[in-house]
Amino acid sequence: MSASPTPGAQLDLAGILSGLKRMAPLSLFVIAFGLAFGVAALQRGLSGLETLLMSGLVFAGAAQFAALELWGPQIPLIALIATTFAINARHLLMGAALYPWLRHLPPGQRYAGLVVLSDSNWAMAAADYQRGETNVGMLVGGGIALWLAWMLGTLMGVVFGSGISEPERFGLDVIMGCFLLAMLVDGKRDLSILLPWGVAALSALAALRWLPENSHVIVGALAGGVAGLLMPGKARSRRASA
């Protein structure tokens, strides 16, 4: 059963600081992820400033790594846009899930929280919402903590990345894969989730073999998303909620 709207939801400095403190331990892992991105971006030909600007303005780790796969002298703009949209489309559902909670805030505060929306602070904020908490500081404070950690990691990658000619020696080339695997393993223990992940993996491999270069990124993301949407359990849930 979904939580009912929380009247009087508020955002204040005390709540933001509390969110920062609660998210701080998890943010330490984001630093390593950001470092890997900084190194990978330099390897793909981005300058240090371009790398920092991308992390600061985009703040979407999986989409940024996917963008690097498409980076080159000739950037396929349509494929780049479609790939980042496919990867980040989950934010539409994440925002909708929190809307009954956030709608009581002034627009400026509401959208300030969504600017730093990420998977981790969304999950913790959603848990607060389910418990009936009225302060949305976890969303904003937790997002700020993640953004700062992401920027710090990217900066470390930029500073030290030029001296790392072989990222694979330090395992930096597999951090993205480990991150996605952790998302899969640490989620709900439901074997049905293997279907969309398997479809995404097989589709990406097929595209890598038979379709134009770099198309495997968007093909895998779209195929996995469509498979998840069309799963029988999802269809029943939609009919039950209709």
Residues 33 and 53 reside in one and the same domain:
yes
pLDDT score, position 38: 92
pLDDT score, position 204: 84
Residues 127 and 202 reside in one and the same domain:
no
pLDDT score, position 220: 77
Does 223 map to a domain? yes
Does 5 map to a domain? no
Task: Tell me which of 184, 203, 232 is where a domain ends.
Answer: 184
The rounded average pLDDT for each run of 10 residues, N- to C-terminus, in the chain (242 residues) is: 56 93 89 89 92 94 85 83 80 85 88 87 89 90 95 93 60 55 53 76 87 72 77 52 44
pLDDT score, position 239: 46
Residues 117 and 225 reside in one and the same domain:
no
> Whole-structure pTM over 0.75, yes or no?
no
Burial group, residue 2, by CB count within 10 angstroms (0-12, 13-18, 19+): exposed
pLDDT in tens, 199-208: 888 988 898 8
Is the separation of the CB atoms in 130 and 100 below 8 Å? no
Residues 144 and 222 reside in one and the same domain:
no
Residues 169 and 216 reside in one and the same domain:
no
pLDDT in tens, 150-193: 999 999 999 987 655 555 555 555 555 555 555 555 445 556 66
pLDDT score, position 5: 45
pLDDT score, position 48: 93
Task: Tell me which of 184, 215, 234 is where a domain ends.
Answer: 184
Does 149 map to a domain? yes
Burial group, residue 233, by CB count within 10 angstroms (0-12, 13-18, 19+): exposed
Residues 226 and 168 reside in one and the same domain:
no
- For residue 134 the two structure tokens come to 């009225």
Residues 178 and 100 reside in one and the same domain:
yes
Residues 119 and 29 reside in one and the same domain:
yes
Task: Tell me which of 137, 164, 184 is where a domain ends.
Answer: 184
pLDDT score, position 190: 58
Residues 77 and 148 reside in one and the same domain:
yes
Residues 102 and 222 reside in one and the same domain:
no
Query: What's the domain range around 210?
Result: 188-242
Domains in the chain, number: 2
